Amino acid sequence: MSTDPALRRDLPMQAADRPGAWAALAGCLLGVFMQMLDTTVVNIALPDLTTDLGASTSQQLLVLTVYTLAFACALLPAANLGARLGRRRLFVTGMIAFTVTSVLCGVAVGPWDLIVFRGAQGVSAALMSAQTLALIATLFGKHRHGLVFGIYGAVAGIAAILGPVVGGVLVDADVLGWGWRTIFFINVPLGVLACLLARSRLPVARDDTPARMDVIGVLLSSAGLFLLLCPLALGRETGWPPILWVMIAAAVVFLASFAIHEIRVDARGGTPLLRPQLFRSRRFTVGLILSLLFFSVFAGFFFTVSISAQFGLGCTATRTGMVALPFAVGAAIGSLASAPLVVRIGSPRGLFAGSLTVGAGLAWLAAVIDPSSESLSTATILGPLALAGVGTGLFIAPLQTVILSDTTEATVGTATGSIPTVQQIGASIGLAVVTIFFFAQVSGQSTTTVPEVRSELAAALSHSPVAPYLHEPVADRFAACASTQLRSSHPERPVPGCTGSAGSTAVATVAAQTRPWTDDARQSVSARTFLGALRVTLAVLSGVAVAIGVLTLALRDRRTDR
């Protein structure tokens, strides 16, 4: 039995576990859980907080996006600060700040209060996240890295998956009448517990001779990431105005300037924010590309499933979140199983197996979806979701070890900061691209589903109290409204003037008399259209997952790998 070379390489860590390592790991993982949970938990509570705070559409978008933007833009500077000031200090400071800003979010009295506090919460999350992988690697001997990184991957993935579930449950429970505010207050006991577990057990993890902060690198990278991620987050909601494309073009300029600046700083013997020599490692470079692509698929998958369940099938927030549970359970199993698998077959083959398993799970899920059934049967989708989850766990867990396998004591800090940054970029790109593709499929599917349901509605109206000569006009009006809605840039939103109350008294009377039949037809056409689009999108994502598996073969090293 051979040992994976990623576990044999010269990571700058001790051979044995530190005292209290497992308790400290629990504290770190609580931090990871809170960070990832808060990336998705607000989505479910948005309607309630919008009503309570009177947020406009643009303010709602900022509530959703400012956390991720601040999180991603602050990660690399936070990793550098951790090396200078000590990773334990930055982690605990970030945890305290995250807990405090969560309380401030919960007591916000206006939309701008919440937006500002959410941004501060994102920066606090970055202070924690940028230290976590380096701290975990320092806590445990190299022989444990496969296991502990597997646990880390499981917790991070499950937290992001469970965000909508937790949000739905907390909002519906309305604990102490707090409503949506509970999603922020829940962080207080978690944050206190994490500090107690980690504060005295984490190593200081500080560079002996810290270098000066690369201020220009911080400014260039932060500006470039903001200009890239902001349009990706706002594009669909705003209809992709020209200013967003200008921002993306500017992002390319800033990020290219950042890369050139980092190379020059390194050549002068300085300490760049992101060390260029890291990219001389094939494992680091290919590993980051794999992370970028895989998190694009991951984010796109959950977006399409969630929006199909909520807006296509009319599921509640809690019911939609529960769809993710089989995936979450599978991800936990796959993450824990990844360490022994990697030891047996090596990390490239382990990543290959994980990616192919994800592809198989998504293909299976696409195959069992029947748009004509107008439903997602739990018994039918349980197996595919669990299989895709297992593959995700098998893939994400060893990927951390692969990316860090060629790092040294001088480069491990910036390397660990780059991993969550790339994951955030991948998720943003995946959401933007998959959104465009998915809604194009919704529009295309409607050309078939709307005529089908229109014919069914015209026939069903024979049982309604309206005169027979009105059956065809009612069916035509339904088809026109359904087509307009499903072919729009926001097919999940009703079309103004098609709610049934517009028009004369006579029209309103006919609409009221036919509402039971038109409501059934509206539900049918929405379910069939969204499920048809979901099936096609899942098939494409399955192919992308398989392609990612092929790319893992670039990690093979014939001198050391089996």
User: Structural domains in the chain?
Assistant: 5-434+546-555 (1.20.1250.20), 443-533 (no CATH)
pLDDT above 50: residue 358: yes
Q: What is the pLDDT of residues 246-264, one digit of tens each?
A: 999 999 999 999 999 988 8
The whole-angstrom separation of Cα 463 and Cα 365 is 37
Q: What is the pLDDT of residues 492-540, one digit of tens each?
A: 777 776 765 555 576 778 778 888 888 888 889 999 999 999 999 999 9
> 552 and 348 in contact (C-beta within 8 Å)?
yes
Percent of the chain with pLDDT over 70: 85
The whole-angstrom separation of Cα 127 and Cα 32 is 11
pLDDT above 80: residue 40: no
Residue 267 CB partners (closer than 8 Å, separation 6+): none
The residue type at 236: R
Q: What is the pTM of this model?
A: 0.81
pLDDT above 60: residue 81: yes
The whole-angstrom separation of Cα 458 and Cα 470 is 9
Q: What is the mean pLDDT of residues 344-361?
A: 89
The whole-angstrom separation of Cα 437 and Cα 477 is 28
Phi, psi dihedral angles at 308 (to 5 degrees)? -70, -40
Q: What tokens were used for 546?
A: 């398989």
Nearest CA among 211, 206, 207, 205 for reference residue 272? 211
Nearest CA among 418, 339, 415 for reference residue 143? 339
Q: What is the pLDDT of residues 48-67, one digit of tens each?
A: 777 777 777 667 777 777 88
pLDDT-derived band at 368, boundaries 50, 70, 90: very high
pLDDT above 60: residue 6: no
User: What sections of 308-377 are H helices per DSSP?
Assistant: 317-322, 325-345, 347-368
Lowest mean pLDDT among 219-223, 403-407, 432-436, 500-504: 500-504
Q: What is the pLDDT of residues 278-315, one digit of tens each?
A: 888 888 888 889 988 998 888 888 888 878 887 888 87
Percent of the chain with pLDDT over 90: 16
What confidence score (pLDDT) does residue 10 get? 38
pLDDT above 90: residue 397: no
pLDDT above 60: residue 378: yes
